[in-house]
Structure formats: structure tokens, C-alpha cells
Structure 1
Amino acid sequence: MTTIKKYPNLPVHIVEDHNDALYHILRAVGSKHLPFTNNLLIHFDSHPDLLIPAELKASEVYDVPVMLQKLSIENWILVAAFTGQISSIVWIKPPWSNQIENGNYKFLIGKQSGTDKIRVSCPALYFVGEMVYCKPDNLENTKEVNLFVHTLGFESNEKLEQDINNLIQGHGKNYILDIDLDFFTTMNPFVSMHDKVNMYNRLKNIYSFNFTASQESDIIDAQLKKRYDQITTLGMIFSHLQELKDTDLIQRKVFSISESIKDKQVRESLIELIQDLSNEYGPEVDWELVHDAGCTFDDESHELPHHISSDDEIDILMKLTSELITSFPPPTVVTIARSSLDDYCPPDQVDMVQESVCEFLSKTYNIVCKKHYEDAEGD
């Protein structure tokens, strides 16, 4: 049995993009400060970050430099579940986040039979809507994932403390504490994008789909196919627009480009939006980024959170977070993501929030703080 080493001081790795946290977690595994498999991640964030990189093949996951290069902020955790480093995930979310409902989810992750794609067997909207769901019978080389989703409200939660402490004990007191600073205050950067034509709200009518929660495989498969057809068709349209670029060409061809949309109301909404964007912003429009904004919608009640917190709200949430974390044994390693350059954490608040988090950690543990983001002033 491998002996787990102990750090002399608790390492706190601060990164800008959240997916860069995985590098430091894997370093802790490689140096034998964390077990090679079955680790626990306690993840404070306004977003679940539980998607799967579309460009990452299952066969590439163990080529670490290639894998790390293909990660993004929304899809870095489950890759480590596929390789076995992480088996239990606790997503602690603020009250304004609703991408996954509170509850305990036990599912499989593996390679989809006949493909080189990583997929999960959880039929929740988050996974079906993002087309990463697969029937468990069609998964190979599977590993079990335990996902616990809890909202940290503006009141204490003794049961939450007890449940997480039981999990920590079950993992031999080894765990990763991960904090995204947008947990305390967050923006949806797409809300204000091309706001002269109210683009974001209009995309909702084009990209939303009706989801029915079900355990019936036929129902799930039908919804998955419908979502795949919808996103694939829209993706091809916006890729075509990106290739055209020329405003006059877009205006002339918009009707023919949109013919593949069968729903008349959706097609008309799409044509009007394309025309308005082209008229108002012309060559400034990044059409593929418009598509990315639309893909953030699942059904009408689930979208990226947008809640710029007041100072009082940040203070309250910081106090509750501190109380919850101090009820746990010390973590093995801490990762912190700023998420400010992509505007998920408001740039004018991020330094203040970071200072508060680091102040709490330094009062609670003997830490060594390592800044890995650009313009860091030193360790």
C-alpha cells in the first residue's frame, strides 16, 4: 500500500482559468500527497464544471499534456473521474445557481461503445442537454462517480456539515478543496453581448428545448436525439455565417441558410436575429461565439447564473463558507480559480474576494500561497 505523504504547509494554488487547477491536483497525485485513485473533490462554484471536452478523445486522456491542452473551464473535473483520480464530487453552489438540482447522483463514466467518446450515464438535464449522456449498457471501461449537489443558503446547515464530514472520513481524510471566486459573485458574460439587439434573451427562444425528467431509456434517447439535431443544425448555420463574414452576403443568403430549421416560429426568430445582428454590428459579429452563447441554454428554467453580489451578500456567503470549511479536517491541497479574465467573476470584485478567501485560509491553516496567474506578485 502506497504511503501518502504530508505537505509541511497546506499548498494553495491560485489560477486564473479554472481548468488549470487540474494540473496542480495531478501534481499532488504524482508526488503521492494524494492517493492515485478515488479522491474526493469539494467544489465551491457558481457552475458545476462537469461537462466533457468535445475535442478530447477517450484514447487521449492518459496523454496528460494533450489532455490538459483540450480542457476548458466548464469541463475539467469529469476527465479526472474517467481516469480514476476523482471518484466523489461535492458541488457546493450559491442560491442563484440551478444547473443541477440538489441531490445525490450515482452514475458511471466511461467510453461509449463503438466510439472514442467519453460519456456518462446520468440522465439529468445538465448532461442530456449537453449531449454527454449515454446508456450505461453502452459504456466500456466504466468507473463509478458519486456526485453530491448542495446549495449553501444564507443560513447554517448542520446536516450538510455532517454529510460532508462523513464523506471525508470515508476517503481517509484526504480531499481537494476547490474554490472558484465566482461562487461569491458571478456574471453571465453573454447577458450583455450585443445587447443593442437583445441578443441573449432572443437566443433563449431559439436554443431552449422541452426536457422531461425520466428514467425511461426510450424517452431519454428521444430527447437526446432531438437536442443533438437542434444543436448540430444551429451549429452548422452559424459556422456558415462565420465563413461568409460579408454582411451583404449574409443578408442575401439568410433565408436559404435557415431552411434547415423545420419549426417555422424558431426559423423566423433566427432569421430576424441574424438580420438585426448583421445590421447593427456587421463584421464585428463572431457568429460562432453567438452559437456558444445559445448553447448555454437547456430548458427555459436552466441557464448560466448571473448575480453580481453586494458587499453584504459576499460577506454573508464568506462567513457561511468559512464556517462550513472549518468544520472539516484540513484539506490536502487547495485550488482557487479567479475566473475574472472571462468575466465570470466580476473583475472589479475579484481581488477583494480573493483577499478575503486567502485571509480566512491563512487564519485557519499554515498555508503556502502560490499564484500561477499572469502578473502575480510572487508566491
Structure 2
Amino acid sequence: PWAKQFRDGTRAFHVGDQPTTGLLRVDSTEPYYLSDALYSSHLINKRKLTLTVAELSDMSTSKQTIQELAETINISQPYVLDIDLDFFSTGNPFLLQYENIGLYDLLEPIFELKLPESDDEKEMEKAVELRERQLEELEKLFLYLEEHGNLEKYEGEKTELFDKVSRLSDVVIAEAEKLGEPPDW
């Protein structure tokens, strides 16, 4: 499948407000939601929803398979399907930006999501907390790069993530100089 955010199948989960932040969250443990720190086991004003994901290719999917899927998800009346066409109309800017240094491959370990080893609620909450801290630190580092051009005088904590971003920034700065343009952080 071209879309890899969700595995094929049907799953039910809740969406609601996280009581301490008031932000919309889900109790789904799908990596898609964990990567954006959107998981919470504590929700108020929650609503249950069922998500079914299935690849339907006109070449490989028989009419019977489609009919069985429609019956499984109980489609008996007209159905509205919302497809986000941004995927088709835009490209991933990191794939083309600084192609010579493989920027996309260099960014992957920096933004890597460490999934919990089980679906245990406490492990999920801990994973989300760690992800939130990771994303916050990345935001601080890249804002600093945008403002100062490098991390030489960065006064924040020098974590493993700082080291990774620092090495990346050195490579990007060198490539940008070769191209005669400032880096776009």
C-alpha cells in the first residue's frame, strides 16, 4: 500500500478532551497517533468511533471483496468518504531539499519514534510523555538554528538529541554554503 499510516483492518477507539490540557486526544495506540503525542487514556466528553482501513485497488480488488467489506462495515446507505488529496498534490520537501547529502535519511533518526513494547496504559502514557519532550526539544533546537544559524552558543541542555541535531546542522550548513544559499531551518 502507498499509505502506511495505518494497518489494514477495523479498530474502535475514543476521541475526547484530555482533562489537564483541554486538547483533543485519542485512546488509540496506533503509531500514527503516538508519533504526534496524541494518545491519552484519560479522556472526557469522549465519543467512540470505528476506523476501517482497507486498500481498494481497482486492479487487485474483486467486486466480491468490496461487497464483503461494505457489509462488514455496515454500509447500507449512501456513504461519504473524505479523502485528503494533499498527498497527491504535494511532495515531501525533505526528499528534494539537500538531495546530495540525503537530508531525509539524516532526519529520520532525529525524529524517530520509540514505540512502547506493550499496549500497557502506563507504558503508553510514558511513551507519549517522552515523545512530547522530544518534539519540544526539537522545536527549541530548530528555532535556535533559525534565529542564530548554528548551535555553537546554544545554552540549553546538551542531550543526545542535541548532539544529533548539531551534527546534522554542520552537514546542512556545509551543503548550503556549497550551494550559495542560507539553510532553511
Bin of the TM-score, shorter chain as denominator length: 0.7 to 0.9
Give the structure 2 partner of residue 140 of structure 1.
Answer: 44
Match of 1:217 among 115, 121, 125: 121
Q: Which residue identity lines up with residue 126 of structure 2 in the other structure?
A: A
1:260 offset after TM fit, Å?
2.7
RMSD: 2.6
Structure 1 pair 131–279 and aligned structure 2 pair: CA distance change class (3 A): same
Give the structure 1 partner of residue 172 of structure 2.
Answer: 277
1:281 offset after TM fit, Å?
2.2
In 2, the alpha carbon distance for the partners of 1:164 and 1:187 equals 32
In 1, the alpha carbon distance for the partners of 2:111 and 2:158 equals 12
Q: Which residue identity lines up with residue 100 of structure 1 in the other structure?
A: F
In 2, the alpha carbon distance for the partners of 1:262 and 1:139 equals 32
Structure 1 pair 236–183 and aligned structure 2 pair: CA distance change class (3 A): closer
In 1, the alpha carbon distance for the partners of 2:39 and 2:55 equals 24
In 2, the alpha carbon distance for the partners of 1:200 and 1:183 equals 17
TM-score (norm 1): 0.43
Answer whether contact 1:233 1:260 (CA < 8 A) is retained: no
In 1, the alpha carbon distance for the partners of 2:114 and 2:49 equals 27
**1:127 counterpart = 2:22:** no
For structure 1, list consecutive stretches of 5 or more residues without a partner in the other structure: 1-94, 288-379
In 1, the alpha carbon distance for the partners of 2:87 and 2:117 equals 27
Give the structure 1 partner of residue 15 of structure 2.
Answer: 109
Match of 1:231 among 132, 135, 138: 135
TM-score (norm 2): 0.82
Relative to its length, the structure with more strand (as a share) is 1
Answer whether contact 1:111 1:118 (CA < 8 A) is retained: yes
Give the structure 2 partner of residue 190 of structure 1.
Answer: 94
**1:240 counterpart = 2:144:** yes
1:223 offset after TM fit, Å?
1.1
Answer whether contact 1:258 1:267 (CA < 8 A) is retained: no
In 2, the alpha carbon distance for the partners of 1:277 and 1:206 equals 14
For residues 312-371 of structure 1, the C-alpha deviation after alignment (integer angstroms, 9 at most, x for no partner) is xxxxxxxxxxxxxxxxxxxxxxxxxxxxxxxxxxxxxxxxxxxxxxxxxxxxxxxxxxxx
Match of 1:167 among 60, 64, 74: 74
Answer whether contact 2:26 2:40 (CA < 8 A) is retained: yes
**1:178 counterpart = 2:82:** yes
For residues 124-155 of structure 1, the C-alpha deviation after alignment (integer angstroms, 9 at most, x for no partner) is 111111111110xx211111111001123541
In 1, the alpha carbon distance for the partners of 2:81 and 2:32 equals 23
In 2, the alpha carbon distance for the partners of 1:125 and 1:278 equals 32
In 1, the alpha carbon distance for the partners of 2:89 and 2:20 equals 42
**1:149 counterpart = 2:53:** yes
Identity %: 25
In 2, the alpha carbon distance for the partners of 1:123 and 1:179 equals 23
Give the structure 1 partner of residue 159 of structure 2.
Answer: 262
For residues 235-272 of structure 1, the C-alpha deviation after alignment (integer angstroms, 9 at most, x for no partner) is 1111112222xx4xx2xxx2443863522xx5443212
In 1, the alpha carbon distance for the partners of 2:158 and 2:66 equals 46
For structure 2, list consecutive stretches of 5 or more residues without a partner in the other structure: none
